[in-house]
Structure 1
Amino acid sequence: MNPSLNLSVQFASDASDLPHRAQIRRWVAAALERDVAITVRIVDADEARALNQDYRKKGYVPNVLTFEYGEIAPGVLGGDVVICAPVVAREARAQGKPLNDHYAHMTVHGVLHLQGYDHLDPGEAGIMEAREIAILRRFRIPNPYSS
């Protein structure tokens, strides 16, 4: 049985090359292991920096932030994934990869964090990265961790 997805997509960025809602939905759905109600919000640098400072006490602009709210209904995990458009664009250029592929990676990465995956130690990082690689492969996106 496929997990249920209640998804809201918000565009709060001036960037012109953002992924389509349908693409975001497919990426989120592919990463799900349980029922979720999630908002994916694509933002500019000022909002990403403010959220990172306010909630993590870190003063830089991140590529993706995940906020997990626990069960908001029986069996339904709630949360937000915030993706910073200018950082994703800069990273994609620097890494020589298609912008849409990097958006897919950041979306999947954020959704996995929402479901408890982490990369704080090498063991956890290896598990999370393997899961990301497998999900992205379904979309014919190359391993984002290989050079």
Structure 2
Amino acid sequence: MNKQEQVLVGFRELMDKMTWLNKSKMEVALKGYKPSEVHFIEYIGRNADANVTRLAESFYMTRGAISKISRKLMEKGVIESYQKPDNKKEIYFRLTEKGREVYAVHEALHREFQERDKAVFETITEEQLNDMLSFMERYAGHLDAEIEKLDTGHKEK
């Protein structure tokens, strides 16, 4: 396996391990919510004026899939839709009180996981972190360009 493959396999293994370690606590603390729903709540909690288009772009999902999740979350009472007075066409989402509670539980779990993993990050220099961030930004940019090519190809047909 060459180094490029080692990096990609390593990233995948890291994410799999993090998911496995975090899963049981997340399932207990956020019982009744699917991971996709929790990520949806997280996005809305962190981004003002979240709408179907922004959510679809962020999660690489169709607008229809986003609408389906948003309907489920409205039925659960964790998000609500609204329109701006100057834009009656666009529908936006915000968290309800119940949604803010779910968001707070999720954020507390993230802080707990960061604390658990702090020992590793304390051994990494600022320069090493910057190099990793730079690599991730370049790779994400490349993947975004590839996604755009696919989207453009579908639109032309």
Q: TM-score, normalised by structure 1?
A: 0.26
Question: Which has more radius of gyration?
Answer: 2
Q: TM-score, normalised by structure 2?
A: 0.25
Higher helix fraction (1 or 2): 2
